[in-house]
Amino acid sequence: MNREKLALAAGCAAFAAAVATAQAPPPGGGPLAPPYKNLQVFPKDITQPQLVGNMKGFAQALGVRCIHCHVGTEGQPLSTFDFASDAKPTKLIARKMLAMVHRINEKEFGVTEFKDVKVTCFTCHRGSTKPLTAPPPDVNLVPPPPATTPKAS
């Protein structure tokens, strides 16, 4: 298995593990407990484990922490964060990117169930805030010309 496929498999496995192992809500709720404010992409009835799992997946796919998209201070309790705020441009970009990923999965691959997604944040980002826009130097994306066959005389 080549390095790119291994990295993709590891990223997908980490994303799946994050979603599968999301913590149950703390007693009495918590900073991410429903009812949520300002959800625009996720369903309004998303559970806390689902939302936290998705956020962990985004963080792993982009190599970032909550502070990348949400208003708050690194190192402070999450209860002090303003998760509803749209003050950070990265949060607005994330919404557009999520819409794009959903559109690609649905229109290009016919995916209707999350478990069947073909394209995730990791597909392009691979642990970086900037998506991979050029192939690695050792990848030849141009197919070779067809083999020539000698003409019969």
The pLDDT score that the predictor gives to residue 31 is 60
| Angstrom distance (rounded) from CA 47 to CA 24 | 9
Q: Identify the pLDDT of residue 32.
A: 64
pLDDT of residue 152: 67
**Residue 147, domain member (yes or no):** no
- The pLDDT of residue 143 is 74
Whether 8 maps to a domain, the answer reads yes
The confidence score (pLDDT) of residue 30 equals 57
What per-residue confidence (pLDDT) applies to 133? 80
Q: Is residue 115 part of a domain?
A: yes
- Let me know if residue 39 belongs to a domain: yes
Residue 107 belongs to some domain of the structure: yes
Domain that residue 45 falls in: 3-125
The pair phi, psi for residue 9, each rounded to 5°, is -65, -40
- Residue 137 in any domain: the answer is no
Per-residue pLDDT of 81-108, as tens digits, reads 999 999 999 999 999 999 999 999 999 9
Residue ranges in the chain whose pLDDT is less than 70: 1-33, 149-153
Beta bridge partners of 71: 82
Residues 57-69 pLDDT 10s: 999 999 999 999 9
Q: Is residue 92 part of a domain?
A: yes
Q: For CA atoms 121, 47, 30, 39, give the dihedral sign.
A: positive
In a domain, 140, yes or no: no
Query: What's the number of domains the chain is made of?
Result: 1
